[in-house]
Amino acid sequence: MSSRRAVAITGSLVTAALSVAVILPSSATADDQGPGSGKGGKAVDAAPAGVKLTTSLPEKISVDNGSKKTAITATVKNEGTKKSGEVNLLVVGFDGLKITRVPGCSEIAAKDLPTGSNSGYTCSVGSLAAGGSKSYAVAATYDLGRAGKMCLPVVSADGKKTFWQQGPVPFGTANPSPNAPATPLLLGTDNKPVAPGGDTLPKTGVGDDVLPLGAAGTALLAAGAAGLYWTRRRPGRLQV
């Protein structure tokens, strides 16, 4: 091998190595919300044979103490062995957590929101292949003076069945940081709001007392509009 050719090959390898060095760190740190978790999730109606639908939320989020804004990644996945068929994902906020935007999804009218919720969007997921998933970038605000919860139901295209529902599950912290630029919150953690006199709100952890809030759902999708009607149910019973 001539010295000129050796230099050319060496130069190519160095360029490739530098390219990898630039690409890998950015992809590794693209998601700083930690691993996704299905905490607070449960199956409601039976899914078609071979289909297993689940959702996940980040283990941690961060709320800007000035703007009160936060970003949350919501993911729906088919862990089964067959295509899911057409399904929709609902993204709903409760109490101090308000959903402000989900790109590619339609806002739920205030009159059609689930009981107790303050905001929501419905997303047409389509049919997920076996092992397939789809993630949505959720923009929200969080009033750190209150508790805040989020709910992710996965419903059939006609809205008659709820195959899976995560939450309403809280994001919160027991160590507020009012003087810091941002406050980190953990999934499934009761929030301890900062308030004059050290007042705190009742616990809002995941439990049987909060599950009936959204155990059944009906999505109404027509003419580009989206609506949702949820009914309360007793534990162990589903009303549709």
Contact predicate 54/85, CB 8 Å: no
| Per-residue model confidence (pLDDT) at position 206 | 46
DSSP notation for the chain: --HHHHHHHHHHHHHHHHHHHHHHHHHHTS--S-SEE-TTEEE-SPPPTT--EEEEEESEEEEETTT-EEEEEEEEEE-SSS---EEEEEEEEEETEEEEE-TTSEEBPGGGSPTTEEEEEEEEEEEPPTT-EEEEEEEEEE-TTS-EEEEEEEEETTSS-EEEEEEEEEEE-SS--TTSSEEEEEET-------GGG--PPP--SSTTTGGGGS--EEEEETTEEEEE-----TT----
Cβ atoms within 10 Å of 180's Cβ, excluding its own: 10
**CATH of segment(s) 31-229:** 2.60.40.290
Burial of 193 (0-12, 13-18, 19+ CB in 10 A): middle
Cβ atoms within 10 Å of 191's Cβ, excluding its own: 30
Q: Where do we find the tokens 């989900």?
A: 102
| Per-residue model confidence (pLDDT) at position 176 | 83
The token pair that represents 29 in the structure block: 């740190």
| Per-residue model confidence (pLDDT) at position 236 | 38
What pTM did the predictor assign? 0.71
What are the sequence ranges of the domains in the chain?
1-30, 31-229
pLDDT, tens only, 112-154: 999 999 999 999 999 999 999 999 999 999 999 999 999 999 9
Amino acid making up residue 39 = K
Nearest to 105 by CA among 64, 47, 152: 152
pLDDT in tens, the chain (240 residues): 544 444 343 343 333 333 332 322 222 223 466 678 999 999 999 999 999 999 999 999 999 999 999 999 999 999 999 999 999 999 999 999 999 999 999 999 999 999 999 999 999 999 999 999 999 999 999 999 999 999 999 999 999 999 999 999 999 998 888 889 999 999 999 998 865 544 444 444 443 333 333 333 443 333 333 333 343 333 333 332
